[in-house]
């Protein structure tokens, strides 16, 4: 398992790099087919956010879906602990799902939960899976600033799979290509345990 660690707006000391490696090595019991874990360490310079000044983003690349978790705290060690705990929870969910699909039980389809949505738009929109490339911030003279650009693979998938992958990356929305209609679509979380789906007819 390869661990790729980089810092944004901060230096990452060797001691912390070793700590990250030791901490993430324990995740192999949850996902034995992990190929690479990307670790991004960033620091917020805003003194008003000192309690969340250090942020850790973990992205697991394996033969299955991308699994992602992030957390912020007043120091990088605490942020790492929180992020790893969240990542473990999502990896455990993925492992449980694989056992269900390979066993005698059939998981309940979420298509029922999304069949009667009222079409309300999600609070946020955009690609939710891990990016293949991330662009530097760009600004316009008379418009909003583009802070990040993401490109991700658009492999057609079922609604159930899209919802599952949305949970694994910890987002409230997920952009995908619907395997049945081949339309660009977004599944998103509504209040409680309800979900919505938007299909884009192009």
State which residues form the domain around 150.
Answer: 111-199
Single out the residue of 25, 20, 80, 28 nearest to residue 56, CA to CA. 80
Residues 93 and 129 in one domain: no
pTM of the model: 0.55
Residues 52 and 79 in one domain: yes
Mean pLDDT by 10 residues, the chain (202 residues): 87 92 82 82 77 88 85 92 90 71 45 44 40 46 64 80 80 84 85 79 79
**Cα 65 to the center of its chain, rounded Å:** 10
Q: Which residues pair with 134 in a beta bridge?
A: 150
Choose the final residue of a domain: 102, 137, 165.
102
- Model confidence over 123-152: pLDDT tens digits? 333 444 444 444 444 444 555 666 667 777
Q: How many domains does the chain have?
A: 2
Report the C-alpha gap between 87 and 136 in whole angstroms. Answer: 26
Q: What is the DSSP secondary-structure string of 112-164? A: HHHTT---PPPSS-S--SPPSEEPPPB--SSS--B---EE-----B-HHHHHH
Residues 83 and 129 in one domain: no
Residue 118 CB contacts under 8 Å (≥ 6 apart), including other chains: 196
């Amino acid at each position: 398992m390869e661990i790729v660690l980089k810092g944004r707006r901060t230096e990452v000391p060797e001691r912390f790099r070793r700590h990250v490696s030791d901490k993430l090595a324990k995740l192999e019991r949850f996902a034995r087919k992990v190929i690479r874990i990307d670790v991004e360490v960033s620091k917020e310079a805003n003194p008003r956010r000192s309690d969340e000044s250090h942020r850790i983003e973990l992205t697991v690349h394996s033969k299955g879906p991308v699994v992602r978790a992030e957390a912020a705290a007043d120091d990088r060690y605490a942020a790492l602990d929180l992020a790893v705990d969240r990542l473990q929870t999502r990896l455990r969910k993925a492992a449980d799902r694989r056992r269900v699909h390979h066993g005698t039980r059939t998981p309940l389809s979420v298509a029922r939960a999304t069949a009667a949505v009222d079409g309300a738009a999600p609070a946020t929109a955009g690609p939710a899976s891990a990016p293949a490339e991330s662009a530097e911030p760009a600004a316009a003279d008379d418009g909003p600033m583009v802070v990040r650009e993401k490109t991700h693979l658009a492999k057609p998938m079922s609604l159930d799979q899209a919802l599952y992958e949305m949970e694994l990356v910890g987002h409230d929305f997920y952009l995908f290509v619907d395997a049945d209609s081949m339309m660009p679509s977004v599944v998103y979380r509504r209040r409680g345990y309800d979900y919505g789906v938007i299909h884009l007819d192009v």
